[in-house]
Amino acid sequence: MNNDWVTVAVLVRPRGVRGEITAVSQSSHPERFAKLKTVRLFGSGNEYTVERVWDHLGTLVFKFAGVDSMDAAELLRGAEVRIPPTERVPLDPGEYFQSDLIGCEVRDQKTKRVIGKVTGWEEYGGPSLLQVDNGRLLIPFVKAICVDIRPADGVIETDLPEGLE
């Protein structure tokens, strides 16, 4: 099974008795869900045909073929809805997939000193924070600080403000 598949949503809980299940979007492109046909659910690893996806009062709802009861939907709770990388939405210049930045080496642009590796993200309502070395350092993911971002090379060069190092 390919571990490069991209998470676009996480299934939360059954909705109703017909096998529908709510989800939290992991995509900043909500239009993508209407086009989903087949996905893989990581948790089970099984492939599912998407019958329908819709927004109900701000909550994403999935209906998968063959999942026709509340009990069947309950078994999917917590699974990640993933797609192959080839189906990702094209990005505008200056946009990046978070998954492409995980593992990138973070360097000081002036000294070329390695600060650490990106191990995750944190969100608190402001700019996203790069988690470096499992949270040892949090760096705001803004152009003024992350000045040269090259995911293909596995590098993010920074101009850290005084005291952030």
Q: What is the dihedral of CA 27, 30, 32, 38, to 10 degrees?
A: 70
The reply to whether 98-158 shares the fold of 6-87 is no
User: Which pTM value belongs to this model?
Assistant: 0.67
pLDDT (0 to 100) of residue 2: 42
Terminal C-alpha separation, the chain: 39
Q: Which residues of the chain have pLDDT under 50?
A: 1-2
pLDDT (0 to 100) of residue 165: 67
Give the tens place of pLDDT for each residue, 146-155. Answer: 999 999 999 9
Within the chain, residue ranges assigned H as helices are 70-74, 98-101
67 touches 73 (CB < 8 A): yes
The phi and psi torsions of 53 (rounded to 5 degrees) equal -135, 135
Buried b (16+ CB within 10 A) or exposed e, 44-72: eeeebebeebeeeeeebbbbbeebeebee
Determine the CATH number of domain 6-87.
Answer: 2.40.30.60
Please give the CATH superfamily to which domain 98-158 belongs. PRC-barrel domain (2.30.30.240)
**Residue boundaries of the structural domains of the chain:** 6-87, 98-158
pLDDT (0 to 100) of residue 63: 98
